[in-house]
Amino acid sequence: MKKKPISKLFLYRYRFVIGYSILGVAFVLLLLFLPLFAQKGLSQAEIDSATSSYYLGKDGIVNGDLVDLPYRVLQKFSIVIFGLSSYSIKLPSILVGLMFGFLLILLLNRWFKSNVSLLSSCLIVLSTPFLFLAGSGTPLIMIVFWPTLLLWLGSKIQGEKRPKPLYSFIFAIALLLAIFTPYMVYFAVFCVLFVLAQPHLRFIVKNLPKLPLAIVILIILAGFIMLGISIIHHPDTIMALLFSRDFEMHYFFGNISAGFSPLFSWHNTVESVFLSPLISLPNFALALIGLFSTTKGFFASRNSIASILIVFCIVITGFNPDAVIFFILPFSILIAHGVKYLLEKWYGLFPENPYARISALVPLTVLFALIIVPGLLQYIYGYRYNPVIADLFSNDLKIIKENLHDETLLVSENYDFYKILETRTDIKVVNVLDENQVDRLAILYNAQAKPEGYTLSQIITSPRRDNSDIIYLYTVIPKEGD
């Protein structure tokens, strides 16, 4: 019986379809159930983000409250529809993370062969920094999402002999929405300068249809004009978008040091929500290989982009240490270059032997499993049990919803945040107790408070708090004759 050639086998012919399908299913399931695995609770940044999003109104937008506007609108709808919970706060990041992950896979598939794109995508979308972004209920993910979307759209425009005007329109609208995210104004300027500096890109822009190009320019200009009007009425907006609200220049190099510390240290030396090391040693080694492999063709657009984005990342980290997470984008491109280099070297050893190529699957599978699995375990258990990291996340909201029903909750911190509970529960939230006594009073944290006319009936505790006490539940002392 004649043997089928390898190229005719089902698994070989559809290897990339099967691989991407498995990656896609694992990726979607992991992100949807992400809050159940790690980051048990909410950080202060997530609480602030949820509060800002929920109270976002039409008047605020008209009056210039535009910072992180697209994300905050999405988070507001999530809280209004599903109520105040850890999952509803994180859901916008999960949805954006899904889009970001697929855009990253599509971008790498545009720039690299399918085998390189598939393997590098597995390393990136299942890595600790990516999972953290998708599981954090803050707009931080947007500073990576917008550049990835713009780069993918740019690759679609660049890669076609006759680019479709639709991609140009979407690019302009995405750039318009992106400038409301901190530091994306710099990226918009970077995109313009990069197009002007790259001969190939200049040629593409010159050959775009004139009418769509003019409309795209008008859309971008309209966005900058709207932003300029907002800045005139609210000068603090420019600080939030270009630097940070409390930025001072002498903090610049200190912010860079604090931001990059979790990337290269093996223990948390500074208070940061990023788990150290944020980038595993094998991934870092692959990125270094990718960086050195691009030196020969540095001026090719995709090669120079990675290096320039690293510089961009360093600059914005000086404004805000948390912006170091932007590193995941150039890091992804460098990892793909590293995987490409390794595969080319292996195939170069056996250029005419298909069996040697197939035999590479075994060591590659072992190598990637040893990179991905420990990274997932580090993410899941690190955010739960690392004392420096775990203390930054609070599950107070969950405890309040599980233990209080029709009580009056007295809070001294994050009052506006807990006030949202009144919309979907019978809990009443106050920050100062008035003269009218209530039957059941719950006080958050404050063990020293001993309200007159009440007796302590219960202390609700949590294993995630140093002294374990979370809520002090009081009941009113009955008056004589009652």
Question: In the chain, where are the structural domains located?
Answer: 19-390, 396-476
pTM for the complete prediction? 0.86
Task: Find which of 57-61, 139-143, 310-314, 396-400 is predicted with most confidence, using mean pLDDT.
Answer: 139-143
pLDDT band at 54; cut points 50, 70, 90: very high
Contact assessment for residue 326 and residue 372, using Cβ atoms and an 8 Å cutoff: no
pLDDT of the residue at 155:
80
pLDDT of the residue at 136:
87
Buried b (16+ CB within 10 A) or exposed e, 329-352: bbbbbbbbbbbbbbbeeeeeeeee
pLDDT of the residue at 36:
67
Task: Find which of 165-169, 253-257, 415-419 is predicted with most confidence, using mean pLDDT.
Answer: 415-419
How would you list the strands of the sheet with 408-410, edge to edge?
428-430, 408-410, 440-444, 469-476, 454-461
Q: Is the pLDDT of residue 172 over 70?
A: yes
Mean pLDDT check: name the lowest of 58-72, 114-128, 291-305.
Answer: 291-305
Q: Please, what is the Cα angle at 204 between 96 and 146, to 5 degrees?
A: 15
Average pLDDT, the chain: 79
Q: Token pair of 401, please?
A: 């919803």
**For residues 426-441, average pLDDT:** 78
pLDDT of the residue at 190:
77
Buried b (16+ CB within 10 A) or exposed e, 272-284: bbbbbbbbbebbb
The torsion of the CA quartet 108, 114, 120, 125, rounded to 10 degrees, works out to: 70
Q: Which of 469, 430, 431, 473 is nearest to 455 (CA)?
A: 473
Condensed to tens digits (0 to 9), the pLDDT of residues 85-101 reads 888 999 999 999 889 98
**For residues 204-209, average pLDDT:** 70
Condensed to tens digits (0 to 9), the pLDDT of residues 223-254 reads 777 777 777 777 777 778 887 767 777 788 88
pLDDT of the residue at 345:
79
Q: Token pair of 339, please?
A: 């995987």
Q: Is the pLDDT of residue 271 over 70?
A: no
Q: Is the pLDDT of residue 310 over 70?
A: yes
What is the distance between the alpha carbons of residues 101 and 107, in angstroms, rounded to a whole number? Answer: 10
Taking residue 416's Cβ as centre, other Cβ atoms within 10 Å add up to: 16
What is the distance between the alpha carbons of residues 282 and 338, in angstroms, rounded to a whole number? Answer: 11
What is the distance between the alpha carbons of residues 118 and 104, in angstroms, rounded to a whole number? Answer: 11
What are the backbone angles phi and psi of residue 111, rounded to the nearest 5°? -95, -20
DSSP state of 39: -
pLDDT band at 219; cut points 50, 70, 90: confident
308 forms beta bridges with none
pLDDT of the residue at 47:
92
**For residues 273-279, average pLDDT:** 80
pLDDT > 70: percent of the chain: 81
What is the distance between the alpha carbons of residues 273 and 392, in angstroms, rounded to a whole number? Answer: 7
Alpha-carbon distance values, 315 to 8, 78, 255, 480 (Å): 51, 33, 10, 69
Q: Is the pLDDT of residue 145 over 90?
A: yes
pLDDT of the residue at 74:
93
pLDDT of the residue at 474:
84
Mean pLDDT check: name the lowest of 46-55, 298-307, 325-334.
Answer: 298-307
**For residues 433-462, average pLDDT:** 77
Count of residues in the chain: 482
pLDDT band at 370; cut points 50, 70, 90: confident
What is the distance between the alpha carbons of residues 393 and 386, in angstroms, rounded to a whole number? Answer: 11
Q: Please, what is the Cα angle at 134 between 192 and 76, to 5 degrees?
A: 85
pLDDT of the residue at 417:
92
Longest dimension (CA), the chain: 101
Q: Is the pLDDT of residue 386 over 90?
A: no
Alpha-carbon distance values, 57 to 43, 329, 429 (Å): 24, 33, 21
Q: Is the pLDDT of residue 4 over 60?
A: no
pLDDT band at 1; cut points 50, 70, 90: very low
**For residues 408-419, average pLDDT:** 87
Comparing 180 with 364, which gets the higher pLDDT? 180
Q: Is the pLDDT of residue 400 over 80?
A: yes
pLDDT of the residue at 442:
84
Condensed to tens digits (0 to 9), the pLDDT of residues 341-357 reads 888 877 777 666 666 66
